[in-house]
Structure 1
């Protein structure tokens, strides 16, 4: 597990970092970019994408059980969002 920043991908565009993640063998991308599905063609992607609808860590921590369940259930090529109030 690594962040885009840790991998040196923080300046890479969305489409390129999805492609890079797939090439590097990552199976799951977790992001807070709720516009990703509108900005990128996600068809034919092998990586699963899970979107958390907030960047607030205290709010994300409140749904760790739901997030873990989504991670366990998500399949290659899936796109899912976890709405976080």
Structure 2
């Protein structure tokens, strides 16, 4: 399963997803691309898009994209605040549904 972290997430969080192929939006050269176009690029190469953008599911028509979206809920997007959410992300990855957003908190 291939995961991609949105550009607003610390790239060091990728190390927490052992056993998964993980890239970041900036690593792919997609920094600054708006959500609709970004999701179109992401769906061609990845299975799951991980973001902290809580408005994404309201701003985009997710069912049109063949990718699952995981929205992290933490007090900030700092690495220390996101790391406690990782076990819950790992627990739900096998069951995420493409075209839907799943909200995950610690």
Whether TM exceeds 0.5 here: the answer is: yes
Equivalent residue runs for 1:1-85 within 5 Å: 1-23=22-44, 25-54=45-74, 55-84=77-106
Question: TM-score with structure 2 length normalisation?
Answer: 0.70
Give 1 or 2: higher strand fraction.
2
Q: Is the 8 A contact 2:88 2:105 kept in 1?
A: no
Q: Which runs of 4+ in 1 moved over 4 A?
A: none
Query: Which stretches in structure 2 are left out of the alignment for 5+ residues?
Result: 1-21
Q: Please give the secondary structure, in 2, of the residue aligned with 1:76.
A: coil
The CA distance in 1 between the partners of 2:61 and 2:100, in whole Å, is 13
Please state how far the C-alpha of 1:63 moved relative to its aligned partner.
Answer: 2.5
The CA distance in 2 between the partners of 1:33 and 1:60, in whole Å, is 13
Query: Which stretches in structure 1 are left out of the alignment for 5+ residues?
Result: none
Question: TM-score with structure 1 length normalisation?
Answer: 0.85
Count matched residues.
83
Give 1 or 2: higher helix fraction.
2
